[in-house]
């Protein structure tokens, strides 16, 4: 796995890292909504110890740069479990040793029992996920956090496509409007466009992505 040039912003480093892991792909891909997207992001391919270590560092860079105050982190089952673990390690490596937790899909009726594994939900809780599509996992996470008497502090994701959902807002904008919390992304569509504009091997995809944004995108 190659290391992106250190002179690049962490956002551009992350996208090149995603390319290297085959997480970010360019071509023609049919999305769940039926749209033909010129790029695709499959976070499940961050599937090794080294890739999770580096992902955790990029997550930490993004949330620390955003300045969102939080006391602990939470990963919604199941996908969020390795992600929140990676973030906790990434934060600790940068001098922020914070508690983390995740949930079970079904409450355990023996042993310690309950739905929450890890630290008790308390204070300002940052939710960690890969992307936001329908916002279902965020909605469930907010409900769990509030039920525990804690406060949702925000959501941290890998990529914000800045693409309209069924209405005029993007899925990220809908979450921010519904719950009144910020959504922080390591990278977003303008960063993808910067990548294809600066990498000669990717120039051929630039116009297709620009056209796709013109058709389905939301204002920054």
Question: What is the predicted pLDDT for the residue at 1?
Answer: 61
Among 7-16, 94-103, 127-136, the range scoring the smallest mean pLDDT is: 127-136
Question: What is the predicted pLDDT for the residue at 94?
Answer: 97
In a domain, residue 1? The reply is: no
Q: Where are the alpha helices (H) located in the chain, listed in sequence order?
A: 10-20, 49-66, 80-93, 136-147, 171-179, 189-198, 206-216
| Confidence class for position 31, pLDDT limits 50, 70, 90 | confident
Q: Which residue has the higher pLDDT, 102 or 2?
A: 102
Q: What is the mean pLDDT of the chain?
A: 92
203 is catalytic: no
Cα separation, 193 vs 72, in Å, equals: 33
Q: Which of 105, 110, 203, 208 is catalytic?
A: 110
pLDDT score of 86 more than 70: yes
In a domain, residue 144? The reply is: yes
110 is catalytic: yes
In a domain, residue 3? The reply is: no
User: Greatest CA separation found in the chain?
Assistant: 57
pLDDT score of 219 more than 90: no
Question: What is the predicted pLDDT for the residue at 8?
Answer: 86
Q: Which domain holds residue 198?
A: 10-216
pLDDT, tens digit, 9 for 90 and up, residues 66-85: 999 999 999 999 999 999 99
For the chain, what is the domain count? 1
In a domain, residue 132? The reply is: yes
pLDDT score of 87 more than 50: yes
Average pLDDT over residues 98-111: 78
| Confidence class for position 111, pLDDT limits 50, 70, 90 | very low
Average pLDDT over residues 199-219: 94
Q: How far is CA 220 from CA 28, 170, 205, in A?
A: 24, 10, 21
Average pLDDT over residues 7-17: 94
CATH number of domain containing 155: 3.40.50.2020
pLDDT score of 138 more than 90: yes
Q: What residues have CB less than 8 Å from 220, skipping those under 6 apart?
A: 162, 190
In a domain, residue 5? The reply is: no
Q: Which of 30, 94, 96, 108 is catalytic?
A: 108
């Amino acid at each position: 796995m190659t290391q992106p040039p250190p002179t690049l912003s962490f956002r551009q480093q992350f996208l090149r890292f995603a390319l290297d892991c085959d997480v970010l792909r360019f071509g023609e891909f049919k999305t769940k909504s039926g749209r033909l997207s010129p790029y695709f992001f499959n976070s499940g391919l961050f599937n090794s110890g080294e890739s999770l270590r580096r992902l955790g560092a990029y997550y930490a860079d993004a949330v620390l740069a955003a300045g969102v105050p939080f006391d602990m982190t939470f990963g919604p089952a199941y996908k969020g479990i390795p992600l929140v673990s990676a973030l906790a390690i990434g934060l600790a490596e940068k001098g922020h040793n914070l508690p983390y937790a995740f949930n079970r899909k079904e409450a355990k009726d023996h042993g310690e029992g309950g739905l929450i594994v890890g630290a008790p939900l308390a204070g300002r809780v940052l939710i960690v996920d890969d992307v936001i599509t329908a916002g279902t996992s965020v909605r469930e996470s907010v409900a769990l956090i509030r039920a525990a008497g804690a406060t949702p502090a925000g959501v941290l994701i890998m990529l914000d496509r800045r693409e309209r959902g069924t209405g005029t807002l993007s899925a990220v904008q809908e979450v921010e409007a519904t719950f009144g919390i910020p959504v922080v992304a390591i990278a977003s569509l303008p960063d993808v466009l910067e990548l294809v504009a600066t990498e000669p091997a990717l120039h051929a995809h630039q116009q297709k992505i620009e056209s796709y944004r013109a058709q389905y995108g939301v204002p920054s």
